[in-house]
């Protein structure tokens, strides 16, 4: 188990201070699925397990002068919901987590979200779906930190 930054080629940073969400949260599930695969997560020290997604961003930001802090969060939390916190989003294999890279599929850690309706949906439901996928709805999607439908 890697616990020191020097094991990853970053000497003088000391212990990896890895924040994680509580078991069963959406980000914890994504971390396991996208990043860890079959490798189990190391048990975190209790003060490094945080209840809310925003807590990850806040805690890592608090450690902005300590380059050993690390957390896993979704891009939209860091760029739209938690504005004003000084966190750095990391590249994966040289690809930055920009909206463009997520939209074009080159950034490897992205989730898809779907709107599902019944086959006998009424006119109001269909009108809502048209609005969501139209220019106004997609502009709102983008303003909230997600990437719009291609």
On whether the CB atoms of residues 41 and 20 are closer than 8 A, the answer is yes
Question: What percentage of the chain exceeds 90 in pLDDT?
Answer: 16
Write down the pLDDT at residue 66: 63
| Confidence class for position 48, pLDDT limits 50, 70, 90 | very low
Tell me the per-residue pLDDT of 71-117, one tens digit each, with 9 for 90 and over: 777 777 777 666 666 777 888 889 998 888 988 889 888 777 777 88
19 has which bridge partners? 71
Q: Helical H runs in 14-134?
A: 26-30, 53-62, 75-76, 99-103, 123-133
Per-residue pLDDT at 122 exceeds 90: yes
Instruction: Provide CB contacts within 8 A for 130, sequence distance 6+.
Output: none
Per-residue pLDDT at 60 exceeds 80: no
CA neighbor of 82 nearest in space, from 69, 73, 70, 94: 73
Give me the count of residues in the chain: 150
Write down the pLDDT at residue 79: 74
Write down the pLDDT at residue 63: 46
The average pLDDT across 47-51 equals: 51
The average pLDDT across 15-32 equals: 74
All structural domains of the chain: 5-103 (3.40.190.10), 112-150 (no CATH)
Average pLDDT over the chain, rounded to an integer: 77
Write down the pLDDT at residue 40: 72
Write down the pLDDT at residue 136: 94
């Amino acid at each position: 188990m890697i616990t020191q930054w020097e094991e990853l080629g970053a000497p003088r940073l000391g212990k990896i201070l890895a924040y994680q969400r509580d078991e069963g949260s959406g980000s914890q599930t994504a971390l396991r699925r996208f990043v860890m695969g079959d490798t189990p997560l190391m048990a975190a020290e209790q003060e490094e397990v945080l209840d809310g997604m925003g807590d990850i961003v806040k805690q890592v930001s608090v450690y902005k002068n300590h380059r050993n802090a690390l957390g896993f969060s979704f891009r939209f939390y860091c760029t739209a919901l938690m504005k004003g916190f000084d966190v750095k989003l990391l590249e994966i294999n040289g690809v930055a987590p920009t909206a463009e890279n997520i939209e074009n599929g080159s950034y490897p850690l992205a989730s898809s979200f779907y709107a599902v309706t019944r086959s006998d949906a009424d006119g109001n439901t269909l009108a809502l779906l048209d609005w969501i996928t139209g220019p106004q709805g997609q502009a709102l999607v983008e303003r909230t930190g997600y990437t719009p439908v291609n």
